[in-house]
Amino acid sequence: MYSFNKFTLSNGLRVIHLEDKSRTTLVLNTLYNVGARDENPNSTGFAHLFEHLMFSGSENVPIFDKEVEEAGGQNNAFTNNEITNYYLVMPTENAETAFWLESDRMNDLNINEKSLTVQKGVVVEEFKQRCYNAPFGLLWHHIRHLMYNKSPYRWPTIGDDIKHIEDATLEDVKGFYDRFYAPQNGIVSVVGNLDFQTTKVLAEKWFGGILKDTTANPNQYHDDPIVSERQFFEAEDLSPNPAVFLVWRGPKFIDKDSIALEMFSDMLGGSDVSPLQMKLVKEEQIFNAAECFYLRGFGEGLFVLYGILNDGVSHQDGEASLIRVLKENQEYSAAMDRTYTGVKNRHATNLLFEATQPMQLAQRLCFFENAGALDDINNEQSLIESFSLNDVLTVSKQTIDANSVSVIYYHPKK
């Protein structure tokens, strides 16, 4: 059980504190409630662009990384369709430096033509390398365009079109910053050897005076209905082998069924002795690789099942084989009991390991708070224990049905 404190500053910033006296370092994690789903459909990729711009400096800190490194710290960030997350790790004696640096770029980021041009160039190059010059580089574009119609989930985090970033103006970017990078739209978690009173003082000192004329993100989006028919798309790809991807929409992060689907994906394809590997890769040799996973999201999740085909195997046979093994493993058999016990043990172990990793813990505290269920971080272990194998199989059958699958066939480029 995690023993944490939470308070909210007068400007709306939520702060979560968890003291760990065994540490010599402090993690200050800042989550902004803004992701790709909050972008204008004609100006996508801005959330990811800001992940880069936030390291471009401010009036007080021209070179952000330099200040972090000179204080003995490290930092990084990531973006997805729903949030943008930044973290700082500092020696405890430099805790105030962490508060100063993070609050400074929330208060007044130095966005100018030079910094924007530089970071646009970086993001455009990343888009080219990841999407145009790598196997399955456009996979998430294809998945999201296939599965969504009007929902803002219909484009990936990196952006729908490279031109949207190339055409981004200084006015556009400043407007995005002023709208979303505000205390009322942020959550800060502090994990390390820092007491609660000192955390409150530092939070008030460095973040309390930041006032911005905006509102918290209401997180209201158009939700496309889940279709009950097979959807299909095919394209050429840089992969040397043909491939089949099957995708389903599922429950959101805070729904307990999302944990059940995570566990089911682990049973089906989460190890070298899983059914996908043993049946389709080693025995039948239909694929040279086959895996599945469940992405838990704040709005909804995605269950992805895929295989990289061996020479001479058709896409249709590959799809049929994936569906066959899926269905076989949605029905109870005594042989599954041992596998499921191992999966439960792995998930329980991962939670125990998380408790020893301050960075992961700081991020998870922000995730649960952003989902509106901070206390549920202490319930995951009991939820895992409460699920029987039949519970997990039932959830999988309710969510992963051949009639509602989205299918992508990739052919090697000629």
Local structure of residue 310 (DSSP, 8 states): P
Residues 6+ apart with CB under 8 A from 226: 249, 404
Report the candidate in 77, 73, 72, 98 with the shortest Cα–Cα distance to residue 87: 77
- How confident is the model at residue 177, as a pLDDT? 97
- How confident is the model at residue 391, as a pLDDT? 97
β-strand partners of 307: 244, 290
Distance CA 346, CA 265 (A): 13
Q: Are strands 5-8 and 243-250 parallel, antiparallel or unpaired?
A: unpaired
Local structure of residue 109 (DSSP, 8 states): B
For residue 2, which phi and psi values (nearest 5 degrees)?
Answer: -90, 130
- How confident is the model at residue 202, as a pLDDT? 98
Distance CA 10, CA 200 (A): 12
Distance CA 109, CA 19 (A): 30
Common-topology check for domains 5-207 and 231-412: yes
- How confident is the model at residue 232, as a pLDDT? 98
- How confident is the model at residue 414, as a pLDDT? 84
Give me the average pLDDT of each 10-residue run along the chain (414 residues). Answer: 95 97 96 98 96 90 93 96 97 97 95 94 97 97 97 97 96 96 98 97 98 96 92 97 98 95 96 94 97 95 98 97 98 93 92 89 97 94 93 97 95 93
- How confident is the model at residue 168, as a pLDDT? 96
- How confident is the model at residue 57, as a pLDDT? 87
H-helix or E-strand spanning residue 99:
helix 95-107
C-alpha dist (Å) from residue 102 to 7, 31, 93, 280, 352 = 18, 11, 16, 49, 29
Q: Can you identify the CATH homologous superfamily of domain 5-207?
A: Metalloenzyme, LuxS/M16 peptidase-like (3.30.830.10)
Distance CA 311, CA 317 (A): 12
Averaged pLDDT score across all residues of the chain: 96
C-alpha dist (Å) from residue 140 to 27, 40, 404 = 31, 18, 18
What is the domain partition of the chain in residue ranges? 5-207, 231-412
- How confident is the model at residue 75, as a pLDDT? 96
Contact 117, 392 (CB under 8 A): no
β-strand partners of 16: 6, 189
- How confident is the model at residue 354, as a pLDDT? 84
pTM: 0.95
- How confident is the model at residue 288, as a pLDDT? 97
CATH of domain 231-412: 3.30.830.10
Residues 6+ apart with CB under 8 A from 273: none
Joined together, the tokens standing for residue 48 give: 């990811």
